[in-house]
């Protein structure tokens, strides 16, 4: 592949997805009972995008394998062993999705090898590690977006949990009060997540009843009640009292490193991550959960949440700063009559048009591709420079300059 090409992207139809958001973006009719949860743009082996090559659709991972330096650029091909280092997604969340955590490099490699030794197929529902990569990610809100990320301070946890507590929780909360550090938090959370089924039903039922009565006064209790309606009896309903509840306005973002416990509750967002599908789940899901493995991976430190706002990079592009070596997320806001021109020092990029329409031109060959709302393109590294003209808003995934080998 030696030119800018449109992508045909797979959609994941998970139960928590929206029946309208991605459909509307793609210009497709809403489908009752057929939610679209994630649109994937990338080369992950589970669901790679496709590219039209000489009149034939070919998967992007195979195209890259054939010409890694032309597609990725020499630097990126060398640093990331001939693989696209990021995975770009649109998330459309109509129902809260799982409490989850992602591993770091060492944990991913060890877990992947361990499950291979056990003979667990890569596509098995009880598989935790589907690749050897870590999965830091950045999530940028496209609509008002709500989620949970990282542990609250122990003081906040104690205050909120005491309001919905029953005798079955008192002892655990007492231990946390006596030991309000990361060790005490780990002990408390482990006890909560491993409680026996009989006690769990009583504790969850009592907490849900109290939260329902207070749901109009406090967002935390609103979400506890909502989660109980969606996942009745699940210990994950306590997560809004334990994790930071975050509300993002469109254009605001969050960076989630390895080990940070999180869950997304509602909204549409664009997500960019290292090229991985490794997820450890701990609740609020019908999918496979591995509580012992999740507890081994989680970072048990209270944290304050820092929202990320974009920083100007020239007149038309804004970049979301994040400490990743695999990806950079940016947004290009095109004005009619004012084109965007790429830099010369670039490698592989994927762009998706979220609003309006534009033309993207290879400045060397002169080739032009129209780009409408919902359409995406890959710009291989071999294309030295390109220009985009029109009135549109595009999100771009690229690789940082100066990336290093891990």
CA distance 278 to 258: 11
∠171-172-178 over CA atoms, to 5°? Answer: 90
- In angstroms, the first-to-last Cα distance of the chain is 28
For the chain, give percent helix, strand, coil, nearest 5: 30, 30, 40
- Collect all residues with Cβ–Cβ distance below 8 Å to 64 and sequence separation of at least 6: 43, 71, 72, 82, 83, 84
Return the active site residues.
281
Task: Tell me if 182 sits within 8 A of 279, measured CB to CB.
Answer: no
Kindly give the residue spans of alpha helices, DSSP state H, lying in 260-349: 291-297
3-state secondary structure of 324: coil
R_g of the chain, CA atoms, integer Å: 22
CA distance 296 to 258: 12
CA distance 359 to 384: 17
Q: Which two tokens stand for residue 318?
A: 């804004």
Task: Tell me if 14 sits within 8 A of 37, measured CB to CB.
Answer: yes
Kindly give the residue spans of alpha helices, DSSP state H, lying in 67-104: 68-72, 74-79
CA distance 177 to 172: 9
E-assigned strands of 3-104? 5-8, 11-12, 38-41, 50-53, 56-59, 86-93, 99-101
Q: For 181, list phi and psi in degrees, rounded to 5.
A: -110, -170
């Amino acid at each position: 592949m030696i030119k800018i090409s449109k992508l045909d992207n797979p959609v994941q139809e998970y139960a928590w997805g929206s029946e309208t958001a991605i459909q509307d973006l793609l210009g497709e009719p809403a489908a009752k009972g057929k939610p679209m949860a994630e649109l994937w743009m990338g080369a992950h082996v589970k669901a790679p995008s496709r590219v039209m090559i000489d009149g034939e659709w070919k998967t992007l991972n195979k195209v890259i394998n054939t010409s890694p330096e032309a597609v990725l650029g020499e630097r990126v091909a060398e640093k990331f062993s001939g693989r696209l280092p990021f995975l770009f997604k649109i998330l459309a969340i109509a129902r809260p999705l799982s409490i989850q955590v992602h591993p770091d490099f060492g944990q991913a490699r060890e877990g992947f090898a361990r499950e291979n030794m056990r003979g667990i197929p890569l596509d098995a529902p009880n598989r935790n590690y589907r690749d050897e990569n870590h999965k830091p990610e950045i999530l940028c809100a496209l609509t008002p977006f709500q989620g949970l990320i990282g542990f609250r301070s122990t003081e906040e946890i104690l205050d909120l949990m005491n309001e919905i507590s029953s005798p079955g929780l008192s002892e655990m909360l007492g231990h946390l009060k006596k030991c309000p550090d990361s060790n005490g938090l780990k002990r408390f959370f482990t006890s909560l997540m491993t409680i026996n089924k009989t006690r769990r039903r009583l504790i969850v039922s009592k907490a849900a009843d109290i939260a329902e009565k207070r749901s109009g006064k406090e967002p935390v209790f609103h979400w506890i009640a909502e989660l109980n309606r969606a996942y009745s009896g699940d210990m994950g309903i306590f997560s809004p009292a334990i994790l930071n509840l975050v509300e993002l306005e469109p254009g605001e973002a969050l960076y989630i490193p390895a080990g940070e416990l999180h869950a997304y509750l509602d909204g549409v967002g664009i997500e960019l991550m290292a090229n991985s599908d490794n997820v450890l789940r701990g609740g609020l899901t019908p999918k496979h959960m591995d509580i012992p493995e999740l507890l081994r991976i989680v970072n048990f430190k209270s944290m304050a949440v820092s929202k990320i706002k974009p920083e100007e990079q020239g007149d038309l592009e804004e970049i979301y700063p994040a400490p990743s070596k695999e990806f950079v997320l940016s947004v290009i806001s095109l004005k009619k009559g004012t084109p965007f021109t790429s830099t010369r020092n670039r490698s592989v990029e994927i762009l998706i048009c979220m609003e309006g329409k534009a033309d993207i031109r290879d400045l060397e060959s002169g080739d032009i591709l129209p780009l409408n709302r919902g359409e995406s393109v890959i710009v291989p590294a071999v294309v030295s420079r390109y220009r985009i003209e029109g009135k549109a808003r595009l999100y771009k995934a690229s690789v940082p300059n100066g990336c290093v080998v891990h």
